[in-house]
């Protein structure tokens, strides 16, 4: 259902790869709500993924950029403003990648070149995006910028590895830049801390199936899916949330406020009764399987 919440607004969506991507759903919902958009992703992702098809559907462009490259980000903002014939009203940063996770590195044995890359792609790219937008004065007053985060920024979650550090930095950048951009040009900046969601990036997390099941059982409203996340993004891009800034907003069915639920406890009790290797006798290898 459309509420015309973004009628007349123009936005850039970074990070749509395929129809599972959270950014893909945000693009669809933003257009349904009346926005005009451009898309951006790496040249490789545009070649390998389906983002060109999405651009075609919305009669727009998928503008290639490595989000760690300031010049390429400048091109995205300049080209988007050309297409829009004016400034931008909203931006979605939906970008994350950890080479350490991909290579199965243990958190205590990180490869530091890869760690730098994780932070650059998943967090510094947000700073670079905001820096470029401010320098070009590319965002209209009361514009809204949203990046996607995860609760591993605050709590330790088995297997999330160096992405936890990247998300903590991402959320901090939203606050630090939110102060500057808000004071100067009334641009608001927030992060949404989303439930685990089955996407290409999500499937990189070790033990994702168990994580999804656990958070589903722990959350009174259940996990939030990608479409529900897109709906939340739309509200933050809209004028209805014009005084919300510098926040990390949990969109997780209540998970972040829980410590134990009856549904999780029930499952745990079943586990205690079993005669597999999951109890205190598990081997060292078994214990670290998902680190
Ligand atoms: N899936 C989840 O469980 C989950 C939960 C909370 C938050 N998030 C966050 O949501 C965001 C989107 O992830 P998703 O789950 O939709 O997965 P996804 O794999 O569909 O999206 C990740 C995107 O990042 C892009 N990307 C990677 N490196 C890049 C670079 N150098 N420059 C530009 N783009 C680059 C990829 O091409 C891809 O489009 C990420 O920030 C992710 O951490 C995901």
Residues whose beta carbon lies within 6 Å of some atom of ligand 1: 15, 17, 21-23, 41-42, 45, 66-68, 94-97, 121, 148-150, 194, 196-197, 199-202
At 280 the pLDDT is 47
Among the residue ranges 44-48, 149-153, 281-285, the one predicted with the least confidence is: 281-285
Mutate to test the pocket of ligand 1, among 147, 150, 201 (most ligand atoms within 8 A of CB): 201
CATH 3.40.640.10 for domain 10-287, yes or no, is no
Dist. CA 95 → ligand 1 center (Å): 4
DSSP state of 255: G
Contact 94, 22 (CB under 8 A): yes
The Cα 203–Cα 124 span in angstroms is: 23
State the pTM of this model.
Answer: 0.94
The Cα 181–Cα 222 span in angstroms is: 35
At 275 the pLDDT is 54
**How much of the chain, in percent, has pLDDT values that exceed 70?**
93
What number is the average pLDDT over the span 166-195?
98
Give residue-wise pLDDT tens across range 256-289: 999 999 999 998 888 876 555 554 445 566 555 5
Place of tokens 């014939």: 85
CB atoms inside a 10 Å sphere around CB 35: 24
Contact 234, 188 (CB under 8 A): no
**How much of the chain, in percent, has pLDDT values that exceed 90?**
85
Which has the closest alpha carbon to 39: 66, 10, 14? Answer: 14
The protein residue with its alpha carbon nearest to ligand 1, atom 1, reads 202
pLDDT at 190 over 70: yes
What number is the average pLDDT over the span 7-16?
98
The Cα 291–Cα 161 span in angstroms is: 7
The protein residue with its alpha carbon nearest to ligand 1, atom 17, reads 201
* Domain coordinates in residue numbering, the chain: 10-287
Which has the closest alpha carbon to 77: 17, 31, 140? Answer: 140
Sign of CA dihedral 177, 238, 58, 21: positive
Give residue-wise pLDDT tens across range 194-249: 999 998 778 777 788 899 999 999 999 999 999 999 999 999 999 999 999 999 99
Give residue-wise pLDDT tens across range 86-125: 999 999 999 999 999 999 999 999 999 999 999 999 999 9
At 147 the pLDDT is 99
Phi-psi region of 122 (alpha: psi -120 to 50; beta: other; left: phi over 0): alpha
What number is the average pLDDT over the span 170-186?
98
What Cα–Cα distance (Å) separates residue 183 from each residue in 137, 178, 180, 188, 245?
A: 14, 8, 5, 9, 11
Mutate to test the pocket of ligand 1, among 14, 15, 149, 214 (most ligand atoms within 8 A of CB): 15
pLDDT, mean over the chain: 93
The protein residue with its alpha carbon nearest to ligand 1, atom 31, reads 66
The Cα 60–Cα 47 span in angstroms is: 16
For 30, half-sphere exposure in the C-beta direction (CA atoms, 13 angstrom radius) is 31
Dist. CA 101 → ligand 1 center (Å): 13
Mutate to test the pocket of ligand 1, among 17, 22, 41, 124 (most ligand atoms within 8 A of CB): 22
Dist. CA 267 → ligand 1 center (Å): 31
């Amino acid at each position: 259902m459309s509420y015309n919440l973004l009628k007349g607004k123009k936005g850039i969506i970074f990070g749509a790869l395929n129809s599972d991507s959270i950014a893909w759903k945000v693009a669809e919902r933003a257009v349904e709500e009346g926005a005009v958009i451009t898309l951006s992703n790496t040249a490789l992702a545009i070649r390998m993924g389906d983002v060109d098809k999405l651009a075609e559907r919305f009669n727009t462009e998928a503008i290639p950029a490595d989000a760690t490259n300031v010049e390429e980000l400048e091109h995205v903002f300049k080209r988007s403003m050309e297409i829009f014939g004016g400034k931008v009203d909203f931006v979605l940063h939906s970008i994350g990648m950890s080479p350490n996770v991909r290579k199965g590195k243990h958190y205590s044995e990180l490869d530091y070149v890869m760690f730098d890359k994780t932070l650059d792609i998943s967090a510094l790219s947000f700073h670079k995006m905001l820096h470029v937008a401010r320098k070009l004065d590319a965002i209209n007053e009361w514009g809204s910028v949203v990046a996607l985060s995860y609760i591993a920024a605050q709590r330790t979650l088995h297997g999330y590895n160096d992405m936890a550090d990247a998300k903590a930095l991402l959320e901090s950048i939203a606050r630090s830049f939110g102060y500057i951009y808000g004071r100067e040009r009334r641009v608001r900046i927030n992060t949404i801390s989303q439930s685990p969601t089955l996407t290409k990036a999500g499937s990189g997390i070790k033990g994702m199936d168990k994580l999804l099941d656990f958070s589903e059982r722990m959350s009174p409203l259940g996990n939030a899916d990608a479409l529900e996340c897109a709906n939340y993004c739309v509200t933050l891009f809209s004028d209805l949330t014009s005084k919300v800034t510098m926040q990390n907003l949990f969109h997780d069915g209540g998970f972040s406020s829980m410590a134990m639920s009856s549904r999780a406890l029930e499952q745990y009790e079943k586990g205690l009764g079993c005669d597999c290797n999951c109890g205190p006798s598990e081997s060292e290898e078994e214990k670290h399987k998902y680190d």
